[in-house]
A and B are shown apart, each in its own frame.
Chain A
Amino acid sequence: NAGVTQTPKFRILKIGQSMTLQCAQDMNHNYMYWYRQDPGMGLKLIYYSVGAGITDKGEVPNGYNVSRSTTEDFPLRLELAAPSQTSVYFCASSSELENYGYTFGSGTRLTVV
């Protein structure tokens, strides 16, 4: 029972580079989310999805893009990395059948230099 799997766990990017953070869940959850966590700031919602083909912006979407072509996968794309995107990124999923409690991945620590 893998739950939510995030890859990679660590990454260093140069300013202006692009990358995709991968997220996959095997619980058939319809809701998926991307949060970033910065020290002392809690978690901020970047993007979320209520099902395959449907995505929407969260609180801090600038500089990011997402897609949801399948129920299982919800990748996060950084097009032109900036130092302000240095953070820990968490993917999560939930469903009505589990009373909306989130299952989190273990996170991706990204450093932009």
Chain B
Amino acid sequence: AQSVTQPDIHITVSEGASLELRCNYSYGATPYLFWYVQSPGQGLQLLLKYFSGDTLVQGIKGFEAEFKRSQSSFNLRKPSVHWSDAAEYFCAVGTTGGGNKLTFGTGTQLKVEL
């Protein structure tokens, strides 16, 4: 069965600093990987996704993520964080067969200091 680990429960960065959120997955075949963001009291919004091809994927709001098969990782990055990026971030792994079910990590809460 697939699984996702987000080792950092909370991260605090200063506005304007760079950001990297870690995600490790476990899956037997080539995974489909996603990052979602959740603002307080809201649903989840898709930031970016990896299916195949270029291992560096660009998303919305200036985020990018890099798929590293050798490390089973899909870390999310942003070169300069804005105060509005404060939210909870979820990594997910999925398969296209069997109903396209996603398995989510437990999330990383990002706090941005002004």
Decide if A and B are genuine partners: yes
Closest to A51 in B: B99
Contacts of B99 in A (CB 8 A): 31, 48-50, 56
Interface size on B, residues (CB 8 A): 25
In the complex, chain B residues whose CB is within 8 Å of the CB of A53? none
Asked if A84 is an interface residue, CB under 8 A from chain B, the answer is no
- Minimum CB–CB distance from A97 to chain B (whole Å) comes to 12
Asked if A101 contacts B106 (CB within 8 A), the reply is: no
Judged by a CB distance under 8 angstroms, whether B30 is at the interface is: no
Kindly report which residue of chain B lies nearest to residue A35, judged by CB atoms.
B104
Q: A100-B32, A100-B96 are in contact. Are A48 and B101 (CB under 8 A)?
A: yes
Separation in Å of the A3 CB from the closest CB of chain B? 9
A106 x B43 contact (CB < 8 A): yes
Q: Name the interface residues of B1-37: CB closer than 8 Å to any CB of A.
A: 4, 9, 32, 34, 36
Total cross-chain contacts (CB, 8 A): 59
Given A96-B96, A102-B46, do A40 and B101 touch, yes or no (CB 8 Å)? no
Q: How far is the CB of B54 from chain A (nearest CB, A)?
A: 14
Tell me the minimal C-beta distance from B85 to chain A in angstroms: 19
Count of chain A residues with a beta carbon within 8 Å of a chain B beta carbon: 27
Q: Chain B residues in contact with chain A, CB under 8 A?
A: 4, 9, 32, 34, 36, 41-46, 49, 51, 90, 94, 96, 99-107
Q: What would 5 more interface pairs be, CB under 8 Å, given A42-B107, A94-B100, A101-B49?
A: A31-B99, A100-B96, A103-B46, A104-B36, A104-B44
11 contacts between A and B (CB under 8 A): A33-B101, A40-B106, A40-B107, A42-B4, A50-B99, A90-B43, A96-B96, A100-B49, A100-B94, A100-B96, A107-B41
